[in-house]
Every structure is written in structure tokens, then in C-alpha cells.
Amino acid sequence: MKKLTCCLLYFITVLFFSCTHSNHEGKMMKTELKPDSGCAEINGVKLYYEIYGQGEPLLYLHGGISSGKDFREYIPDLSKKFQVITVDRRGHGRSFDNGEPYSYAAMGDEMNAFMDYMKIDSAYVMGWSDGGVVGFHLAGKYPERVRKLIAVGANYLVTGMTPGMIEWIETQMTAEGVAASIPGIKRDYLANNPQPENYASFISRSRDMWLREPYMEREDFINIGVPVLLVAGDKDDVTLEHMAEMYSLLENAQLCILPDTDHFVFAQRDETVLQVIYKFLNTKMEK
């Protein structure tokens, strides 16, 4: 029986006043942890990874044109209970690239190969945005690798995004446009990526992937059988209608829509998201 993770009125009211926003106000643990790090050579390309804590593996899949830094606020808490693994996908963050076109299916294969390299038989998987889409492919094609999947702000169709987001990708997502509207993307890429000269190609290939319909074939999406938690903000770049559609298509899914949040729900409702994650993974949040 599918369960809808509903935010009841009382629950919403309490969390609205108690949860942190992007400034975090000390609510989340800020301890800086030093990870074990390295590079995994996957299909001739070196992928940068970091490992925190011990326990059952929890694989983080970052968002588009970003890196494993997406989850830095969550690592101190989750690494108390899990071995948290972040990996920068090909061409992202501190990972190398080979210039080939990007595709979500290939990224799913890449993560499967990464798990082989790391000798991880199976893991809990948590992905944000593009990372959630990669998680869909990993869970669909390699279900034995994914114990449970948490997909935040992820969609399986281009048309699952809001018209405004699609228009921005079509008209503004160029190397110059991204540098102007989101300067931190270019700054971080040039500072950290081992091939900074690839910046324009990196943005162009990401744009092509974001506009390539579908992200995953409907039949393949429906056949995902592992437990999936879908999370989004009520003002997300992924429409509520699409979130409801994905929930209805998946056999073993839960859905959580968080109020007064957008695509960056991680930063805006961090403690709430943590509580939802812990409940889904059947563990308790430490005080």
C-alpha cells in the first residue's frame, strides 16, 4: 500500500516556525568534518569522491552544473548514522571530463560503475534535481544497487518543469548567461575543476541534456520497484502536477511537498528534510 507523507496542519505550523532557512541560524550542526577522499577511474575518467562516517552506505547524487557540495549542511548529521559518500559526476566539481555529450542514462551507468569501483553492493541513494533523475536511472536499471531512493526536486520529463524554468534554459542557459545570473557556478568551476577550459562546453552540454525529452522513458520510470521518496517545494521548478503524476506512476512511493519552499528546499527546510529522510530510512534523528 502506497503512503503519502502528508504535512498535517499542526506539523506544518510547528515546523514553519522552528525550521531554519538559508542562513541556518545554528539549527544545523556546523562541525567541519574531514573526509576520506580520492578519485575513482570510471571509463577512463577520474571522478572525485568524499567519504564521511561509518555504517550503511548513503550515496549522495548532486544537482546539475554543481557538485557534492550541495549536501554539506547534511553531512555532519547523517554521517553519525551512515557512511555518507559524495561523488562529483563526470565534468562536475573536481571530476575530469572527456567531452562526450551528457545523458542521464549514461550518468546512471556511471554511478553503477562507481559503486563497483568502491565495492559497494547496495546503498541508500539520495539525489537532488539532476541527481534525483540519475537516481531514477540507477534504481530502474540496477535495482539491486538501490535499497531506497530519495529524489528531491527531480522530474522525468522536460515538460514536468514550470514554463518559466524551461524558458530560462532555452534563452539564458549559455556560458555567459549562467555567469551573469548565477556567478557562483562559473567561479566554483574555474577554481575547482581540473579542466577549467571546459566551462563553456560544460554548460552547453548540460543545457542540451536538460532540454532532451524525455529524461527517462515512461515505461522505465513505471518499472522502478524500489521504495522511492519524492520531495519538492510547493514553489519548485518541478510542477506539483508532475510530482503527483510521478507519485501515481510509481508502485512503491511516498510524496512530501514542503510549504513555502522552492527548488532549493534543502537550504530552506533543512531540519524538516532531515526528519523526513530519517523517517523514510526507518531511523531516528539524534537530538
**pLDDT tens, position by position, 177-193:** 999 999 999 999 999 99
For 202-255, the pLDDT digits (tens) are 999 999 999 999 999 999 999 999 999 999 999 999 999 999 999 999 999 999
State the Cα–Cα distance between residues 191 and 94, nearest whole angstrom: 9
Residue of 83 and 270 predicted with greater confidence: 83
Report the pLDDT value the prediction gives residue 267, as an integer from 0 to 100.
83
Q: Contact at 8 Å (CB) between 158 and 212? A: yes
Question: What φ, ψ does residue 89 adopt, rounded to 5°?
Answer: -65, 165
pLDDT of 28 over the 50 cut: no
Q: Which of 80, 50, 76 is closest to 192 using CA atoms?
A: 50
CATH of domain 9-280: 3.40.50.1820
pLDDT confidence band for 33 (50 / 70 / 90): confident
For the four alpha carbons of 4, 8, 13 and 14, in that order, the dihedral sign comes to negative
Least confident range from 43-57, 68-82, 150-164: namely 68-82
What is the percent of the chain where pLDDT is above 70?
Answer: 87
Q: How far are the Cα atoms of 136, 164, 192, 215, 230 from residue 154, in angstroms, in the given order?
A: 9, 16, 26, 10, 8
pLDDT of 6 over the 60 cut: no
Taking the model in full, what pTM does it have?
Answer: 0.89
